[in-house]
Chain A
Amino acid sequence: MRSLRKPSVIPGFGLSLGFAAFYASLIVFIPLAALFAKAFTLTWAQFWDTVLHPQALASYRLSLGAALIGASINLVFGFIVAWVLVRYNFFGKKIVDALVDLPFALPTAVAGIALTTLYAPQGWIGQWLTPLGIKVAYAPLGVVVALTFIGLPFVVRTVQPVLEELEKEIEEAAASLGANRWHTFRRILFPALLPALLTGFALSFARAVGEYGSVVFISGNMPFKTEITPLLIVTKLEQYNYAGAAALAVVLLVFSFILLLLINLLQHWSNKRAGG
């Protein structure tokens, strides 16, 4: 152990790292490794048949498409919410600020049944949309609504601290050099906030791709139409097709890892911006 680390007077290195590594391997690393092992009990042909099956492809399209739309809605409105919370004063601001985290605290099943009830044809919101020919619950649009809800806090919470740290002097300098407000926003503020905006977008997207609880209630779960990838995994599991479920899980995981890598790169870029 000792050769692994730089010398320090503080005790407890072996104990703390030993326990942390043991626990992390037991809970996270070994089970995930078992998943990959299970998926590759399939032959290559079987694996590709499972993950490229038309029903699986339809589920990727819905999961990724709805997550992308949800994250885009959150990008625009999350930015406005963050801006309003940092720059303006209004009655009840602190309560609004606290409420933004509701999707983190509210269990997804509760969100799922609440949104379904609201957007069902007779629901509070649904009854106004049905005459217009807009179907939300039990349709792909419902998936978008659920994924927008669960990804809502990410953009707000990544942009907010960066906006708070921005020095007003830069805006003052721009204004005193004759830039109008829109110009200052577009040329000074927006580029400074871009890394944080993209990080929030990616986090919201990553969370939405794997989401299950809130979506299963509102989507209606029709194969090829409103079936998300996590639901397809559950279906395979219920048919005792463990290797098939594992294969789809590997696809979902690889996609999440790529996103995680992207988010880390974005954060690195963001930190470098802030430091420089």
Chain B
Amino acid sequence: MAGNVSTLGRRTTRINHAVTEPLWVQLSLITVALVFLALFLVVPLVAVFKEAFSKGAEVYFASLVEPDAWHAIKLTLLAAAISVPLNVIFGVSAAWAITKFRFRGKQALITLIDLPFAVSPVVAGLIYVLLFGAQGWLGPWLADNDLKIIFAVPGIVLATIFVTFPFVARELIPLMEEQGTSYEEASLTLGASGWQTFWRVTIPSIKWGLLYGIILCNARAMGEFGAVSVVSGHIRGQTNTLPLHIEILYNEYQFAASFAAASILAGLALVTLVVKSLLEWQHTRDREKAARAAAQQS
């Protein structure tokens, strides 16, 4: 196996010139790609930080510790702290059911998991307003019992859960599908209980994929705008998350403060990209190691 691969490598290098483009084509394509990405990704990113510091570091930090901003940061963290763990539990159980068993209705469940990706964020907010709003199906009952979901924190959490619903499950299903059931079966045959097998066999083998899903889920949870905007009611210091706070400041022409708040979320996005790349490289390395081990055995 290993011998085969290396000869293949040597052969391709020898006739390389026939299967690649002339240098000028390569250089122009690279230039086009880099200019496109610079224009659409790098320039907006730089603009966020530039505008945030346009009135100096003092204004920057003052606009972040201001009470409404601080409250928005805390609410954003709270919404993510509730919705991410719930979606992790859902993602793991859905992936367990879908990949370890064969049952009727599996395809329907997979479609249902994908659905929130196809729904506009505005519609995601709207469905909860129609259920729990004053005019909604459960509105009168909630009012009688003095419960508030829409224009309050529970609505924000619900909308956040909806838009981040597929992330963990979507990462885990292909990964666990590929791993199959043989390790779990071996563990159970050797006398481990179901939960022992889950914690000691399954979780270690999916931990990187799980972390990857959590990172993406968290980024979306903290940055969601459309769905949260519909259910929040925009009450300052009460139901404003960080993205909504950015919008209010921007519409009040407080650009420096708005971009200061935006720079926190942009920083979070950059951290997300770094962690995501590290996890991808880790995954590739694990795979290569496994392939090498398999090649040595055969």
Q: Interface residue tally of chain A, by bracket?
A: 35 or more
CA distance A27 to B116 in the complex (A): 10
Q: Which residues of A contact B121 (CB under 8 A)?
A: 108, 210-213, 230
* A212 engages B225 (CB within 8 Å): yes
Residue of A nearest to B127 (CB): A31
Q: A27-B165, A102-B269 are in contact. Are A5 and B102 (CB under 8 A)?
A: yes
* A28 engages B273 (CB within 8 Å): no
Select which of A85, A102, A113 is within 8 A of B246 by beta carbon: A113
* B130 engages A242 (CB within 8 Å): yes
* A168 engages B273 (CB within 8 Å): no
Does B156 count as interface, using CB distance less than 8 angstroms?
no
Q: A88-B26, A212-B226 are in contact. Are A233 and B126 (CB under 8 A)?
A: yes
**Cβ of A135 to closest chain B Cβ, rounded Å:** 18
Interface stretch (choices A18-26, A190-198, A268-276): A18-26
Residue of B nearest to A114 (CB): B44
Select which of B128, B226, B265 is within 8 A of A106 by beta carbon: B265
**Cβ of A73 to closest chain B Cβ, rounded Å:** 9
CA distance A17 to B169 in the complex (A): 13
CA distance A111 to B42 in the complex (A): 11
* B94 engages A249 (CB within 8 Å): no
Does A148 count as interface, using CB distance less than 8 angstroms?
yes
* B103 engages A31 (CB within 8 Å): no
CA distance A80 to B22 in the complex (A): 16
Does A32 count as interface, using CB distance less than 8 angstroms?
yes
| List of 9 A-B pairs having minimum Cβ-Cβ separation, nearest first | A210-B120, A107-B223, A213-B225, A5-B103, A212-B226, A11-B194, A175-B18, A31-B127, A20-B94
**Cβ of B68 to closest chain A Cβ, rounded Å:** 16
* A110 engages B223 (CB within 8 Å): yes
Q: A8-B102, A94-B277, A234-B230 are known contacts; what are 8 more A-B pairs with Cβ within 8 Å?
A: A4-B104, A16-B93, A34-B131, A100-B37, A105-B272, A110-B265, A118-B47, A231-B122
User: Can you name 13 A-B pairs with beta carbons within 8 Å?
Assistant: A10-B184, A77-B36, A81-B33, A88-B30, A90-B30, A98-B274, A107-B225, A109-B265, A210-B121, A212-B121, A230-B122, A233-B120, A253-B120
Does B161 count as interface, using CB distance less than 8 angstroms?
yes
Does A176 count as interface, using CB distance less than 8 angstroms?
yes
**Cβ of A176 to closest chain B Cβ, rounded Å:** 7
Chain B binding surface, main DSSP class: helix
Chain A binding surface, main DSSP class: helix
* B119 engages A110 (CB within 8 Å): no
Q: Which of B188-244 contact A (CB under 8 A)?
A: 188-189, 194, 198, 216, 219, 222-226, 229-230, 243-244
Q: Which residues of A contact B128 (CB under 8 A)?
A: 31
CA distance A100 to B33 in the complex (A): 11
Q: Which residues of A contact B266 (CB under 8 A)?
A: 106, 110
* A115 engages B118 (CB within 8 Å): no
**Cβ of B189 to closest chain A Cβ, rounded Å:** 8
Residue of B nearest to A5 (CB): B103
Residue of B nearest to A214 (CB): B225
**Cβ of B140 to closest chain A Cβ, rounded Å:** 14
Q: A28-B115, A80-B36 are in contact. Are A8 and B44 (CB under 8 A)?
A: no
Q: Which of B252-275 contact A (CB under 8 A)?
A: 255, 258-259, 262, 265-266, 268-270, 272-274
